[in-house]
Structure 1
């Protein structure tokens, strides 16, 4: 071993010891925070985490990319938060789904992750206090909104306190080493739709069988060497499958947005979004009248979507996302004016804007 290499390794060892000492100091500080907060939940503050990660990304001198810095510090915060108060996070299971990947992206690896059978079960777990947080898909850039999530947000008392954007890469996987023996493909209906053109070009003769989740598809493929599954890389690792064709989604920018739900929303972080749902009185120009306060107060609306209301045939509610926190003066004024004009208004929550 050269003297130069030995010198560099000794320097790395010294830095590792210094990092460990600082991490231990941070962990002790987190424990003290937990003692101060005792009995004053919530322990997890999405706005504080967002502010910390943005600040560190801005201070980052390199050579690590900003995303790597955020990943490292999110994991540090996850473990330290676990010292304050262990978190329980419900997600749409089983293990190996994109919902689990989104949950881990948002919360790190420290929480107790709870796989739920349905999106309804995620909401129920949070409502009943059996989970501190839930992570649910709300829309996909290719396939659009997840209707059941929108309906449950309207009906449930939970709040939206965060969002996660997860780039979706679909993998064709099997126990076999090649696709020659494949006789069927399992996947969730949305994933089959997201890979529709690739499948038409490459495997048009194989029947496509929709199942409850991508993880379930991977499990079925793991039991039968004549079956393939379309799922994420995590499912392939979990069920010991070979990836036969990587990244087969038709849209290379395919992204799913997830919402984090809890019994509270988030404070202002400085870069926030507010979600709301409202209904319009049944008269000409009603929607224009409702949206007018947003324009008057300079509030940017980034999404508007209608859903059939449960109250009657041909009646609709409208879901909207606006920039800013509901405590911001302009947003608060716009929401006040909107509430005076709308037949119904529910603010679903304000929360930090997720990175793409």
Structure 2
């Protein structure tokens, strides 16, 4: 049986994303964080992990990025995107105007902040480890109202007061499928390659790396930096490239970048999701 780790509990958008990959014979394993999902790969407890990596409203999911940088034995082999909208739910029979404690994931809170301000101005925000966990908090009496996927209301016997809630109707989240020591997917003509690297802390160090891509016409679709947490003022740079790692221009750029970095690792190469 193929085991797939995802941010739980059951009823999260990450579970929905995991199931959308349609992995034959999959057993879905809920864990408490993206880091735990990737650690389960390193430990050999699961075959795949699915993690949110980027949100169109709140930007990069930094917990996933940090965990990917620390996971040497795994790589990204696929991605999917979900349109994100929430249901507002309470225990059965409870009215919204009496709610005092509002729970959801902090990223989700940014996506419904305006709606909550207009409709639930009296509530205190309580961060949850996931949107489904927020629904569980409501069911257990630890919060009064939650923003979560509709399925979470069904799982916990909650009453839905509003559907399709999102401050921006274009909100989407990108999820990646990570495998242990993956076989590299073949080029499709519409691929993405991700790398993480470090440079010396000196003027022009980052520019020299980026110029290798520009010189070969390789499009960088995303760049983020994260502190290494090893030394002050040192950073990991995450770059997504348009193209497959075996494409001549991408392969040449990656080889040239090695001369300008103190460490570099490919995080994966995979087909881009259809839009």
Same fold (TM over 0.5): yes
Q: Normalising by the residue count of structure 2, what TM-score does the alignment of the two structures yield?
A: 0.92
How far 1:319 sits from its partner (Å)? 0.5
Q: Is the 8 A contact 2:97 2:120 kept in 1?
A: no
Task: Tell me how far apart the structure 2 counterparts of residues 266 and 128 of structure 1 sit (CA, whole Å).
Answer: 23
Matching of residue 164 in structure 1 with residue 92 in structure 2: no
Task: Tell me how far apart the structure 1 counterparts of residues 56 and 6 of structure 2 sit (CA, whole Å).
Answer: 20
Q: With a CA cutoff of 8 Å and minimum separation of 6, indicate the structure with the bigger relative contact order.
A: 2
Task: Tell me how far apart the structure 1 counterparts of residues 185 and 224 of structure 2 sit (CA, whole Å).
Answer: 23
Query: Do the aligned partners of residues 226 and 289 (structure 1) sit closer, same or farther apart at CA in structure 2, a change above 3 Å counting?
Result: closer
Partner of 1:337: 256
Task: Tell me how far apart the structure 2 counterparts of residues 152 and 278 of structure 1 sit (CA, whole Å).
Answer: 14
The answer for unaligned runs of 5 or more in structure 1 is 1-85
How far 1:323 sits from its partner (Å)? 0.7
Task: Tell me how far apart the structure 1 counterparts of residues 105 and 178 of structure 2 sit (CA, whole Å).
Answer: 23
Query: Do the aligned partners of residues 226 and 341 (structure 1) sit closer, same or farther apart at CA in structure 2, a change above 3 Å counting?
Result: closer
Q: Is the 8 A contact 1:171 1:231 kept in 2?
A: yes
Q: Is the 8 A contact 1:302 1:320 kept in 2?
A: yes
How far 1:153 sits from its partner (Å)? 1.1
Partner of 2:160: 243
Partner of 1:15: none
Q: Is the 8 A contact 1:299 1:331 kept in 2?
A: yes
Within the candidate set 116, 138, 155, 2:70 is matched to 155
Q: Normalising by the residue count of structure 1, what TM-score does the alignment of the two structures yield?
A: 0.72
Within the candidate set 215, 223, 226, 1:296 is matched to 215
Task: Tell me how far apart the structure 2 counterparts of residues 331 and 143 of structure 1 sit (CA, whole Å).
Answer: 29
Residues 179-194 of structure 1: pairs in structure 2 closer than 5 A: 179-194=96-111
How far 1:226 sits from its partner (Å)? 8.0
Within the candidate set 104, 114, 123, 2:29 is matched to 114
Partner of 1:135: 50
How far 1:347 sits from its partner (Å)? 0.8
Question: Which structure has the larger Rg?
Answer: 1
Structure with greater helix percent: 1
Q: Is the 8 A contact 2:103 2:143 kept in 1?
A: no
Structure with greater strand percent: 2
Matching of residue 275 in structure 1 with residue 194 in structure 2: yes
How far 1:289 sits from its partner (Å)? 1.1
Q: Secondary structure at the match of 1:256?
A: strand
Q: Is the 8 A contact 2:79 2:176 kept in 1?
A: yes
Partner of 1:94: 9
CA offset digits 1:316-346 (Å, max 9, x no partner) = 1210000111111111111111112222211
Partner of 1:173: 89
The answer for unaligned runs of 5 or more in structure 2 is none
How far 1:224 sits from its partner (Å)? 4.1
Q: Secondary structure at the match of 1:180?
A: helix
How far 1:144 sits from its partner (Å)? 1.6
Partner of 1:46: none
Task: Tell me how far apart the structure 1 counterparts of residues 25 and 119 of structure 2 sit (CA, whole Å).
Answer: 40
How far 1:130 sits from its partner (Å)? 1.8
How far 1:225 sits from its partner (Å)? 11
Task: Tell me how far apart the structure 1 counterparts of residues 247 and 270 of structure 2 sit (CA, whole Å).
Answer: 12
Task: Tell me how far apart the structure 2 counterparts of residues 187 and 152 of structure 1 sit (CA, whole Å).
Answer: 22
Task: Tell me how far apart the structure 1 counterparts of residues 199 and 51 of structure 2 sit (CA, whole Å).
Answer: 27
Q: Is the 8 A contact 2:137 2:143 kept in 1?
A: no
How far 1:283 sits from its partner (Å)? 2.1
Computed over aligned residues only, the root mean square deviation of the Cα atoms, in angstroms, reads 1.8
CA offset digits 1:262-289 (Å, max 9, x no partner) = 1214232221100001122222222221
Task: Tell me how far apart the structure 1 counterparts of residues 23 and 117 of structure 2 sit (CA, whole Å).
Answer: 37
CA offset digits 1:90-136 (Å, max 9, x no partner) = 11111111110110112268511111122222112212222111001
Partner of 1:305: 224
Q: Is the 8 A contact 2:228 2:235 kept in 1?
A: yes
